[in-house]
Amino acid sequence: MVLFGVFFVAPMALIVAYSFWEVRNYNVVHHWTLENYEYFFSVPTYVTTLLDTLWVAALATTLTLTAAFPLVYWLARYVRPSRRRPLLALIIIPFWTSYLLRVTAWTTILGPSGILNKALKAVGLISQPIGFLLYDRPAVILVLVYLYFPYAALTLYAALERFDWRLLNAAMDLGATPRQAVARVLLPQISPGITTAVIFVFVPVLGEYLTPQLIGGTRGVMIGNLVVNFFQGAEYTRGAAVSLLIAAFIGFLLILSRKRLNLTGAPHGA
């Protein structure tokens, strides 16, 4: 409880207080006001940035889970148990390197003189470097999918590893196609794992600022970059207000996720 209070409750209480104070001449004044929130929602650019962040996070999460599911499905169902650990280790290997190094490496891959543009030019598909491969939203989403793929893969694998594959075979024996068996039997059974994977990917992506800054440039700004800009400009109270808005949305998402986990985890007939 002491650790919880020192590392969570106290900092959160300080952010809440700062969000209702104001800055005058670069000094925080303990004058309670809603001006920070009113200011945020009165600037269309800030609201647009918030909405852009939500759809980027949602799309990146969807693509990450879509890419991870076939791989872990193959691992859990068709790969021998003795070979699964080495393959899972390959998924975890990116965690052994610096986050900053992994993000920076993509600038050399996607840049105008990067490996991807050179390869496309070598095979004759393009004559000029493709600009949107870097410093734009698609590049940000691509790198976010790469960064958070291991989170989704490991979480989904843990759910699939416990699944009874005889249920899937029984469904197909009763006339279901493989796609119907997966949709009506497999996915409902592992829905808690899917929900957990969504949380593990969506929540950190929502607060990303380094990847949008390095990969997206001015076209890839997300709400995390806005918070950093506020604090760097000594507008601590406005930065705290935006941070609290993000925290409130994440809290709401976690409450919904907990209810879903409780419903899916409840025994039949409960």
Domain edges within the chain: 2-265
Going by C-alpha positions, the residue among 237, 234, 239 that lies closest to residue 223 is 239
Element counts in the chain: helices (H) and strands (E): 15, 2
Handedness of CA 54, 57, 59, 62 (dihedral sign): negative
pLDDT of residue 201: 94
Identify the band that residue 269 occupies on the pLDDT scale cut at 50, 70 and 90: very low
C-alpha distances in angstroms, 218 versus 40, 96, 206?
A: 19, 30, 17
The model's pLDDT over 164-208, given as tens digits with 9 standing for 90+, comes to: 888 988 988 888 888 888 889 999 889 889 999 999 999 999 989
Query: pTM of the predicted model, to two decimals?
Result: 0.87
The 10 Å Cβ neighbour count of residue 225 is 20
The model's pLDDT over 70-100, given as tens digits with 9 standing for 90+, comes to: 999 999 988 888 888 889 888 888 888 888 8
The superfamily (CATH) of domain 2-265 is MetI-like (1.10.3720.10)
Q: What is the mean pLDDT of residues 101-116?
A: 84
pLDDT of residue 74: 93
Question: What's the token pair of residue 32?
Answer: 């309670």
Give the torsion through C-alpha atoms of 82, 87, 89, 94, to 10 deg.
180
- Report the mean per-residue pLDDT for the chain: 87
The model's pLDDT over 44-60, given as tens digits with 9 standing for 90+, comes to: 999 999 999 999 999 99
- Whether 259 shows a pLDDT value over 50: the answer reads yes
The 10 Å Cβ neighbour count of residue 138 is 15
Given a contact cutoff of 8 angstroms between Cβ atoms, the answer to whether 134 and 110 are in contact is: yes
